C-alpha cells in the first residue's frame, strides 16, 4: 500500500509554536512518501531554522514559513494549506509540533482519500479503550461532551472526536472552502468540518491512540465551555439556516417551522400560567393545561422528526 501512496503528492503541514523540544522528532518520524513539509513558525519565541533541527530525516523536504505575527494554530495551518494548493499537492496532512501524533498513522489517513471512501480523514482517540484509559479524566469528559455538541452543530452525526487535529484532506476540497469562515485558533478543527459539510464532504474516522508526554497545552480545560459553546451555537444556527432554508427546503424545514414555535410557546406559556395561578393560589383551567401539554408534545415530536432527518442526511464515508 505504501508504494501506491508514493504515486501521489502528499504534503504535511506543521503549525509550530514554542515546541523546540519536540519538533525535530516530529520531522524525523514523518514517512518517506511525504513530498513536502510546510513548517509554519507562528511567531514563536522559540524560533527555529533548518540548521537547528540537526541531522534528521526529511529535512530537505521542509519549506519553512515564518509568520510576522501570531495567527494561532488555525491561521498557521491555513498558511500551509494555501502553500499546498499553490504547489498542486494531492493531499494535505496536518500534524502538530508537540509529538502527540503517531506518524505511522499517516498512511491510514491517506488511504481512504486515495480509495475515494472519503474527502477528509481524521484520528479518533475514543476507539482504543486501552489508550483511552491513559487520557486524563477531565480531558476525556470534556471531549465526550464537546464531541456530542459538535455533532449537532456541524451535522456530522456519524463521526466522533471532532477536535482531533490529526487529519488528512483532499486539496481539491480545500480549494472549494472559504478560509475566512475557518477559525484561526482553538475552534479551527470544528469550523473546518462545519465548512466541509456544505461541500457534502465525507469524513472517515481512523482509530488511533492519544499520546501524552511532558508537553503543556495552551488551552485551559476550564475555559473550553466558554470558548466553544457560543461558537457551537452560532455554527448550529448557520447550518440550519443554510441547509434547510437557503440552500434547500424539505420536510425537515416544515418540521422546524412548526415544531420550534409550538414547543417554545408551550414551554413559555406553561411557565407563565404556572407562575400566575400558583401566585394566586388557584387551579389552572383544564383547557389551559391541555393547550400547554399538546403544544409541548406536538412541538417536541416535530423537532424529533427534524433531528431524525438531519441524522439521516449526514454525509457518510464508504
Model pLDDT for residues 11-41, shown as the tens digit of each residue: 999 999 998 889 999 999 999 999 999 999 9
Tell me the average pLDDT of the chain.
90
Only one residue has cell 501521489, namely 8
CA 283, distance to chain mean position in Å, is: 50
Contact of 231 with 190, CB cutoff 8 Å: yes
Residue 219 confidence (pLDDT): 54
Q: Are 120 and 170 in contact (CB under 8 A)?
A: yes
Rounded mean pLDDT of 40-68? 89
Max Cα separation, the chain?
84
Mean pLDDT of 28-57: 90
Buried b (16+ CB within 10 A) or exposed e, 252-291: bbebbebbeebbeebeeebeebeeeeeeeeeeeeeebeeb
User: What's residue 54's pLDDT?
Assistant: 81
Q: What is the distance between the alpha carbons of residues 152 and 130, in angstroms, rounded to a whole number? A: 28
pLDDT of residue 57: 86
Q: Three-class SS of residue 29?
A: coil
Which stretch of 131-145, 177-191, 241-255 has the lowest confidence by average pLDDT? 131-145
When mean pLDDT is compared across 73-77, 217-221, 258-262, 290-294, the lowest value belongs to 217-221
At 155-175, the pLDDT tens digits run 999 998 888 899 999 999 999
What was the pLDDT predicted at 65?
95
Q: pLDDT band for position 271 (50/70/90)?
A: very high
Residue 126: what pLDDT?
A: 80
Q: Which fold has domain 2-243?
A: Spore Coat Polysaccharide Biosynthesis Protein SpsA; Chain A (3.90.550)
- All three cell numbers of 262, joined, read 409550538
**pLDDT on residue 41:** 95
The cell for 15 is 503549525
Mean pLDDT across 294-305: 97
**130-144, 215-229, 239-253: segment of lowest average pLDDT:** 215-229
pLDDT for 24 equals: 92
pLDDT band at 268 (very low <50, low <70, confident <90, very high): very high
Write the pLDDT tens digit of every residue in 190-243: 999 999 999 999 999 998 876 655 545 555 555 666 778 899 999 999 999 999
pLDDT at 131: 63
At residue 139, the pLDDT reads 72
Q: What is the mean pLDDT of residues 39-63?
A: 89
Amino acid at each position: 500500500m505504501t508504494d501506491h501512496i508514493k504515486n501521489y503528492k502528499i504534503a504535511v503541514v506543521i503549525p509550530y509554536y514554542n515546541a523546540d523540544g519536540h519538533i525535530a522528532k516530529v520531522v524525523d518520524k514523518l514517512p518517506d512518501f511525504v513530498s513536502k513539509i510546510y513548517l509554519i513558525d507562528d511567531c514563536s519565541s522559540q524560533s527555529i531554522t533548518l540548521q537547528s533541527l540537526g541531522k534528521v530525516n526529511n529535512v530537505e523536504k521542509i519549506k519553512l514559513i515564518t509568520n510576522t505575527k501570531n495567527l494561532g494554530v488555525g491561521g498557521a495551518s491555513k498558511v500551509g494549506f494555501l502553500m499546498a494548493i499553490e504547489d498542486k499537492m494531492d493531499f494535505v496532512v496536518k500534524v502538530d509540533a508537540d509529538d502527540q501524533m503517531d506518524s505511522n498513522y499517516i498512511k491510514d489517513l491517506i488511504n481512504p482519500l486515495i480509495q475515494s471512501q472519503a474527502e477528509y480523514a481524521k484520528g479518533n482517540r475514543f476507539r482504543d479503550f486501552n489508550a483511552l484509559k491513559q487520557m486524563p479524566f477531565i480531558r476525556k469528559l470534556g471531549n465526550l461532551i464537546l464531541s456530542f455538541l459538535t455533532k449537532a452543530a456541524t451535522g456530522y452525526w456519524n463521526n466522533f472526536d471532532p477536535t482531533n487535529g490529526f487529519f488528512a484532506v483532499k486539496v481539491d476540497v480545500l480549494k472549494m472552502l472559504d478560509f475566512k469562515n475557518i477559525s484561526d485558533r482553538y475552534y479551527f478543527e470544528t469550523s473546518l468540518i462545519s465548512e466541509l459539510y456544505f461541500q457534502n464532504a465525507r469524513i472517515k474516522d481512523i482509530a488511533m491512540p492519544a499520546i501524552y508526554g511532558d508537553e503543556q497545552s495552551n488551552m485551559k480545560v476550564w475555559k473550553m465551555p466558554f470558548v466553544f459553546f457560543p461558537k457551537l451555537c452560532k455554527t448550529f444556527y448557520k447550518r440550519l439556516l443554510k441547509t434547510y432554508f437557503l440552500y434547500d427546503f424539505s420536510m425537515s424545514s416544515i418540521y422546524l417551522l412548526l415544531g420550534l414555535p409550538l414547543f417554545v410557546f408551550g414551554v413559555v406559556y406553561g411557565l407563565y400560567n404556572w407562575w400566575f395561578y400558583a401566585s394566586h393560589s388557584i387551579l389552572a383551567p383544564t383547557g389551559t393545561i391541555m393547550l400547554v401539554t399538546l403544544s409541548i408534545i406536538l412541538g417536541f415530536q416535530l423537532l424529533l422528526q427534524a433531528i431524525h432527518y438531519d441524522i439521516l442526511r449526514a454525509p457518510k464515508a464508504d
